[in-house]
Amino acid sequence: MARTECSDRVVGAILASWRYDISGIYPEMRKDYEQHFADCPHCRARQKFHRSLDGTLAVLTSLAVFFFLFALAVLKHIKPVEHMAFNIFGLDVEDTYHMLVSAGISGLVFSIIALALVLTATPAPSYLGDIASKRARMIEERLPEAIKSLRPR
Ligand SMILES: [Zn+2]
């Protein structure tokens, strides 16, 4: 982390307790904090760090949901466990299958809960939405005039 110091300890402490997220407060109350972010490189860096952390959490939890869905789909369609269960471990196929399916379902449920928590408890949705709209605007600016004029206003 950057070794800079906050220029205003009081405001810095308030911002730290909010994890540097001011999107939840009223716009007219936000001005002082926005000014502080503009003035203070320390808090700006912390804010950037926390928002990328939120984004990473959102991406990781949605990947977990995806992988558990994938694992369940594999179990349903291929059933590669049958060989392993019989030959290597000497287990009962039905038991093994049920155990893996319930592990997959509980993993799926847990990762959906984790994703919901990340999306509700952190400003990740607005942060990711911001990035997406900035990218969209950048792409739009680079489009040739002929295509831009086709776009409805
Ligand atoms: Zn600061």
How is the chain split into domains, by residue range? 9-148
* Choice between 74 and 80, residue whose per-residue pLDDT is larger: 74
Q: Which amino acid is at 3?
A: R
Compute, in angstroms, the gap from residue 28 CA to the centroid of ligand 1.
Answer: 19
Residue 37 neighbours by CB under 8 Å, 6+ apart = 22, 43, 44, 47
Model confidence band, residue 84 (pLDDT cutoffs 50, 70, 90): low
Neighbours of ion ligand 1 (CB under 5 A): 6, 12, 40, 42-43
Cβ atoms within 10 Å of 36's Cβ, excluding its own: 21
DSSP code per residue over 33-78: HHHHHHH-HHHHHHHHHHHHHHHHHHHHHHHHHHHHHHHHHHHHHT
Spatial CB neighbours of 79, under 8 Å, sequence gap ≥ 6: 97
Mean pLDDT, rounded, for 71-99:
74
Residue 91, pLDDT > 90, answer: no
Is pLDDT of 121 > 50?
yes
Question: What is the mean predicted confidence (pLDDT) over 2-18?
Answer: 86
Position with higher pLDDT, 68 vs 99: 68
For residue 38, report the distance from its CA to the centre of ligand 1, in Å: 9
Ligand 1 center from residue 4 Cα (angstroms): 9
- How large a percentage of the chain has pLDDT more than 70? 89
Does the structure show a pLDDT above 90 at 63?
A: yes
